[in-house]
Amino acid sequence: MHSRAERAGQPGHVVVAGVVNVQQTVPVDGFPLAYAPVRYATGRLRLAASGVGLNVARTLGALGTPASLATLVGDDPAGLVIRAELRRLGLLGLPGEDESDGRGAGVLATANSAMSAVLVDPHGTRQVHTDLADLATARHPTPVFRDLLAGARLAVLTTAGFVRDLIPVAQAAGVPIAVDVQTIEDADDAYSRPWLAAASLVFCSAERLTASPAATAAALLARHPAGVVLVGMGADGCLLAVRDHPPRHLPARAPHGVLDTTGAGDALCAGFLHCRFPALLARHG
């Protein structure tokens, strides 16, 4: 008989480790935000489960790549919202599985869930206010994560604090690692160093880079073992840099316009991994 963790994974699946939170999205007229004692936004406030870990796993699943999730969910009202979405997505284990705590093998309990509030202007520009709650200092049990990795072809290890201890577990299991280091300033970002030292594929945002995307990608390839770097540049598209090949600029396309850029980097990461990672791994893994 297989353990719950073993049954939760699927051969060739992707394991995603990261934050799941409850996100309140609030539309604003622009930045900086002008003070008003009351603003009415009838029909425009949104409350939903979100977070980098969920965004990546949910997008991979929607595209057809099986994904397992390693995260922590609180026993609080926010946790009810999160668990409902995870259950809808099939990330709480196999259908019909008897789970006394209502969570999947890699979705573990903590006291308080992470939460965020996101202000979004009419152009889709966003400002995120995040409370990581228990996830700022929590630890995810390495034996549970090791079980999730059985048969996995990739581990997407986000830069949440509790994920740091899971990096050597993925390395020991021989599973390639992808990471989105998000709004770093340069290739020597101190916080991201443990992830950069282990990743086969690195994503980052150009939003706060102190050098050009091309220079930053070249530095990441030169100083770290990754063979592929993808730099998201918002409306300017993205830059794809593959070791020993000239970088390529890929334009952005938004045929339906831009409503909200929250999670755009997560969607880029998941979409690229679904479409291109198997071929790139074969050549540069």
Q: Given this model, what pLDDT does residue 24 score? A: 96
In this predicted structure, the answer to whether residue 39 has a pLDDT above a threshold of 60 is: yes
pTM given for the model? 0.89
Percent of the chain residues topping a pLDDT of 70: 89
Instruction: Name which of 2-6, 61-65, 216-220 the model is least confident about.
Output: 2-6
Query: Do residues 97 and 90 touch, judged by C-beta distance below 8 A?
Result: no
Q: How confident is the model at residue 197 (pLDDT cuts 50, 70, 90)?
A: very high
Confidence at residue 93, expressed as pLDDT on a 0 to 100 scale: 62
The model's confidence at residue 4, banded by pLDDT at 50, 70 and 90, is very low
CA 151 centroid distance within chain: 21
Q: Is the pLDDT of residue 2 over 50?
A: no
* ∠ Cα 233 184 263 (to 5°): 55
**Residue 39 burial by Cβ neighbours in a 10 Å radius (0-12, 13-18, 19+):** exposed
Convert the pLDDT of each residue in 119-144 to its tens digit. Answer: 999 988 989 999 999 888 899 999 99
Phi, psi of 239 (to 5 degrees): -115, 125
Write down the pLDDT at residue 260: 82
Average pLDDT, the chain: 89
- Eight-class DSSP state of 35: P
For tokens 């690195």, name the residue. Answer: 202
Q: Which residues of 104-143 are buried (b: 16+ CB within 10 A; e: fewer)?
A: bbbbbebebbbbbebbbbeebbbeeebebbbbeebebeee
Q: Is residue 284 pLDDT above 70, yes or no?
A: no
Q: Where are the domains of the chain?
A: 4-19+51-109+136-284
For residue 26, pLDDT over 50 is answered with yes
Quote the CA–CA distance of 68 and 17 in Å, as a whole number.
9
Which pLDDT does position 164 carry in this prediction?
Answer: 96
Closest CA to 186 of 206, 207, 216: 216
Give the C-alpha separation, 208 to 231, whole Å. 11
Q: State whether CATH 3.40.1190.20 applies to domain 4-19+51-109+136-284.
A: yes
Pairing of strands 114-120, 107-110: unpaired
Cα dihedral 122, 126, 129, 135 sign: positive
Quick: pLDDT tens for 203-249. 999 999 999 999 999 999 999 999 999 999 999 999 999 999 999 99
How is residue 44 annotated by DSSP? T
pLDDT at 58 over 60: yes
Q: How far is C-alpha 12 from the chain's CA centre? A: 19
Q: What average pLDDT does this structure show over 27-40?
A: 93
pLDDT confidence of residue 6: 41
Pairing of strands 154-157, 14-17: parallel
* Cis bond upstream, residue 32 (ω within 30): yes
pLDDT recorded at residue 8: 43
Q: For residue 29, what are its two tokens?
A: 């007229």
Order of strands, edge to edge, in the sheet holding 21-27? 46-50, 21-27, 114-120, 126-131
| pLDDT for position 261 | 80
In this predicted model, which residue has the larger pLDDT, 99 or 17? Answer: 17
Q: What is the mean pLDDT of residues 158-184?
A: 96
